[in-house]
Amino acid sequence: MHDTPPSVPDFTQWPSFPFEGDLHVKQLDDPVPVEPPRKGEGLRECTACNAPDDAYIWVGERWRVRAMDRPTGLPMVLILESRTHLDLGDLPNLLAAELGVMTVRLERAIRSLDGVARVHVNRWGDGSAHLHMWFLARPYGRLQLRGTFLSLWDSILPPISEAQWRENLALVAAWLAEFGGRPLAEPPRIQWQAPSSLMAQSAAADAAAAEAAAVSVIEAAEEIPEPSPDAAADVDAAQGDTASTPDEVSPGGVVAAGSAAPHSDSTAGSDEPASAADETSGGTTAGASTPGTATSSKQASGTPTPAIAGTVTAPANARSVLDDRDDDASDDATKGHQ
């Protein structure tokens, strides 16, 4: 991309940038005086508060974990939600401390899966007022997917197989259940069929998968900010379109926190074997052990996973997970454009 205009940022030349060719900077709209409400604000309904527990892969007393409605390009994409309708800055001290414990626990569970190198943790919240944290697994060896643009690659890469996706969900749910709560994700069932029928059904399944549009992080309705009424009116006038502007863009049946995806705020199960005070004060959970059902080859070397809910120690083979976007950009710019 040597012919890239100077107005285009340098990161468009990084190996991790998913696009190439003649790029142009989009015109920036004028700021609006009042931002429109997110889902769960004002008179807008919060879909996270109304979703039942069976729409999640794991549920606890104060937290729930859900997945997308179908496989996407990454090995795993999960969302951690609080049961209570609160945003990040509204969390009381107890839930704020538990959020740290749950973030580390879920990161470890995802990183235990085969073929996962890193887990990116993100929070945007422009589409929904209900707290939801994104966990994105980067495939091992895919160096081009490192850094800031992993959520974009999720919608570009071909979806993983549904059988592998369901197995990964079951493993993560089982891992979390070792510390409390209820696992709701089940592994795929074996389909016993006559050999003569396998080829025909395999071809039909491949065709159906090709037609289905995978829901990705970047397309999640909850992460698409609500367009301002003035901007929508200007676009309609310019295009001569008299149709009303929808509240949320939800391509391909998007399911995400704050969208029509499964999530809610009802209470079921117990989140932790230890009390909430134990988690936040650094107390230990006596007798808790690392879930064997969610252990992959990467952790089979004998590295223990502590079951201490406030003072956890990262495994010896674990590296920093919360990659700062500024650090990513600096690394790409100074170390071969990673």
Cβ atoms within 10 Å of 13's Cβ, excluding its own = 15
Residues 280 and 99: their CA atoms lie apart, in Å, by 10
pLDDT in tens, 76-113: 999 999 999 999 999 999 999 999 999 999 999 999 99
User: Which of 2-11, 132-141, 205-214, 256-265 has the least mean pLDDT?
Assistant: 256-265
- 315 near 300, Cβ under 8 Å? no
In order, the DSSP letters of 177-195 are HTTSSEE---PPPP----H
pLDDT score of 55 more than 90: yes
Mind listing the pLDDT tens digit for each residue in 17-32?
Answer: 889 888 888 888 999 9
* pLDDT at residue number 311: 40
Residue of 2 and 204 predicted with greater confidence: 204
Could you give the C-alpha distances from 150 to 11, 38, 126, 139, 189, in angstroms and in order? Answer: 14, 25, 19, 10, 31
Q: Where are the domains of the chain?
A: 45-186+215-220+228-334
Enter the pTM of the model. Answer: 0.59
Termini Cα distance of the chain = 16
Q: With pLDDT > 90 as the criterion, what percentage of the chain qualifies?
A: 42
Residue 283 pLDDT greater than 90, yes or no: no
Residue 229 CB neighbours (<10 A):
12
Contact 49, 169 (CB under 8 A): no
- Please report which confidence band the pLDDT of residue 269 belongs to, taking 50, 70 and 90 as the band edges: very low
What contacts 141, CB < 8 A, 6 or more positions away? 117
* 75 has a pLDDT exceeding 90: yes
State pLDDT tens for residues 227-266: 655 555 555 555 555 444 444 444 444 444 444 344 444 3
Say which CATH topology domain 45-186+215-220+228-334 has: HIT family, subunit A (3.30.428)
Per-residue confidence at 268, pLDDT binned at 50, 70, 90? very low
Q: How far is CA 231 from CA 174, 221, 246, 256, in A?
A: 46, 19, 13, 25
